[in-house]
């Protein structure tokens, strides 16, 4: 018996009927949101997101608890996405799923579910890079940016300036060397006694505060990279010192502290983004990822682009934080190039862009 031949036989890929306007089911489970969406051609038919409250008790995402919550949520979330879309599961032409980057356990839940469902329906599984999908969230709604454009992708685990030459050709020009922008928000919130995830709460308090009341340092990082760990330490010492003078300092000045921290984080991001645009000679700019839901960043980004005469694109709030729609949209672009996975598809927690 020839082992080599039998091995080759098992690698023959099934032939799928190619559709010009496929119906794609997108599944996201890389962190603490279980989400599923249905895309028909370019039209989004449904987008269901189930968050996970359990992590609030611990002040951050607990991977094992996230995996268990995904296991509980994935069947009802996918079922609802299919029902909301008004289709039958037999209408689906491909299942796009986040395979990384993200937490291994949560990724395993989504990937195994998608593989099993795709095998049952005899349709392709489409492995998706989560960071690529955040960028492609810009194609869910019109108007979408034209290529080439730059994207500042800011999430809980990543901070990247990406050059986007086509839907599937992306190059990271700069990224954080330590904490992500979302982490800077969340860790500051924790220091101030606010619950997880603190980013949206800092945003809320910042709306009533003075952004110039307290001054925090801007790190000197070469090129287009970022660093947020020094800022976190500066805020830690600032709070510690001020509390020595007045135990209630944080409570009394919460709005101004939040506004000042948000001002610093968003100016660090925008200063580098402007530098990247000038360096690349690109005048179409976009922002994406959970932190792009921040009202201060959205305002500063829009104002800066308007001043420079550049085109700017900001996703709708629901497509900034993790969602199945962006995974389905990335899946659509990958489907067109027939970039399918197979039985050997596995999660890649450190999947680079």
Q: Count the neighbouring beta carbons within 10 Å of the beta carbon of residue 48.
A: 23
**Which residue is nearest to ligand KG4, using beta carbons?**
290
Instruction: Report what 256 binds from Zn ion, ligand KG4, none; CB cut-off 5-8 Å by kind.
Output: none
Q: Beta strands 34-40 and 23-28: pairing type? A: antiparallel
Rounded CA-CA distance 40/81 in Å is 12
Residue 294 in contact with ligand KG4, rule: CB under 6 A = yes
**Which residue is nearest to Zn ion, using beta carbons?**
155
Options 137-145, 149-157, 209-217, 304-312: segment touching ligand KG4 (CB under 6 A): 149-157
Nearest to 221 by CA among 168, 276, 278, 148: 276
Rounded CA-CA distance 270/138 in Å is 19
Q: Count the neighbouring beta carbons within 10 Å of the beta carbon of residue 167.
A: 19
Residue 194 in contact with ligand KG4, rule: CB under 6 A = no
Of the candidates 73, 155, 266, 323, which one interacts with Zn ion according to CB under 5 A? 155
* Count of residues that interact with ligand KG4, criterion CB under 6 A: 19
Of the candidates 63, 200, 219, 230, which one interacts with ligand KG4 according to CB under 6 A? 200
Cβ at position 142, least distance to ligand KG4 in Å: 22
Rounded CA-CA distance 233/243 in Å is 15
Sheet holding 94-100, edge to edge: 43-50, 34-40, 23-28, 94-100, 125-129
Cβ at position 1, least distance to ligand KG4 in Å: 48
**Residues 152, 349, 70, 83: is their CA dihedral positive or negative?**
positive
Of the candidates 149, 185, 333, 335, which one interacts with ligand KG4 according to CB under 6 A? 185
- Written as six digits, the tokens of 12 are 């023959």
Residue 157 in contact with ligand KG4, rule: CB under 6 A = yes
* Count of residues that interact with Zn ion, criterion CB under 5 A: 2
Cβ at position 179, least distance to ligand KG4 in Å: 10
Q: Is 291 exposed, middle or buried (0-12, 13-18, 19+ CB in 10 A)?
A: buried
Site for ligand KG4 in 13-32 (CB under 6 A): 31
| Strand intervals (E) in 41-91 | 43-50
256-275 burial, b for 16+ CB within 10 Å, e for fewer?
A: bbbbbbbbbbbbbbbebbbe
Residue 211 in contact with ligand KG4, rule: CB under 6 A = no
Closest to Zn ion by CB, 186 vs 322, is: 322
Of the candidates 22, 26, 94, 199, which one interacts with ligand KG4 according to CB under 6 A? 199
Residue 322 in contact with Zn ion, rule: CB under 5 A = yes
Options 1-9, 43-51, 155-163, 280-288: segment touching Zn ion (CB under 5 A): 155-163
Residues that bind Zn ion (CB under 5 A): 155, 322
Residues that bind ligand KG4 (CB under 6 A): 31, 155-157, 182, 185-186, 197-200, 203, 289-291, 293-294, 321-322
């Amino acid at each position: 018996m020839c082992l080599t031949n039998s091995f080759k036989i098992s690698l023959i890929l099934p032939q799928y009927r190619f559709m010009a306007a496929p119906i794609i089911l997108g599944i996201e489970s890389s962190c603490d949101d279980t989400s599923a969406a249905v895309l028909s051609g370019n039209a989004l038919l449904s987008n269901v997101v189930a968050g996970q409250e359990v992590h609030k008790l611990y002040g951050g995402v607990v991977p094992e608890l996230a995996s268990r919550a995904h296991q509980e949520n994935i069947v009802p979330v996918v079922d609802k996405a299919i029902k909301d879309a008004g289709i039958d599961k037999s209408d689906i032409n491909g299942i796009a799923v986040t395979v990384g980057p993200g937490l291994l356990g949560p990724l395993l839940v989504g990937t195994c579910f998608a593989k099993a469902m795709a095998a049952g329906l005899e349709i392709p599984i489409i492995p998706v890079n989560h960071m690529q999908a955040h960028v492609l969230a810009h194609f869910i709604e019109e108007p979408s940016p034209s290529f080439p454009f730059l994207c500042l992708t800011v999430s809980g685990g990543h901070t990247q300036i990406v050059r986007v030459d086509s839907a599937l050709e992306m190059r990271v020009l700069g990224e954080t060397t330590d904490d992500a922008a979302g982490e800077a928000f969340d860790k500051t919130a924790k220091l101030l006694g606010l619950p997880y995830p603190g980013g949206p709460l800092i945003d809320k308090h910042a709306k009533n505060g003075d952004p110039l009341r307290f001054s925090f340092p801007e790190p000197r990082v070469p090129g287009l990279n970022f660093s947020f760990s020094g800022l976190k330490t500066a805020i830690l010492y600032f709070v510690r010192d001020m509390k020595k003078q007045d135990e209630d300092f944080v409570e009394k000045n919460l709005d101004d502290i939040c506004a000042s921290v948000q001002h610093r984080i968003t100016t660090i991001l925008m200063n580098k983004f402007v530098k990247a645009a000038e360096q690349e000679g690109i005048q179409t700019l976009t922002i994406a990822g959970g932190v792009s839901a921040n009202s201060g960043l959205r305002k500063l980004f829009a104002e800066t682009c308007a001043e420079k005469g550049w085109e700017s694109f900001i996703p709708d709030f629901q497509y900034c934080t993790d969602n199945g729609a962006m995974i389905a949209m990335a899946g659509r672009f990958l489907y067109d190039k027939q970039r399918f996975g197979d039985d050997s598809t596995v999660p890649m927690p450190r999947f680079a862009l």
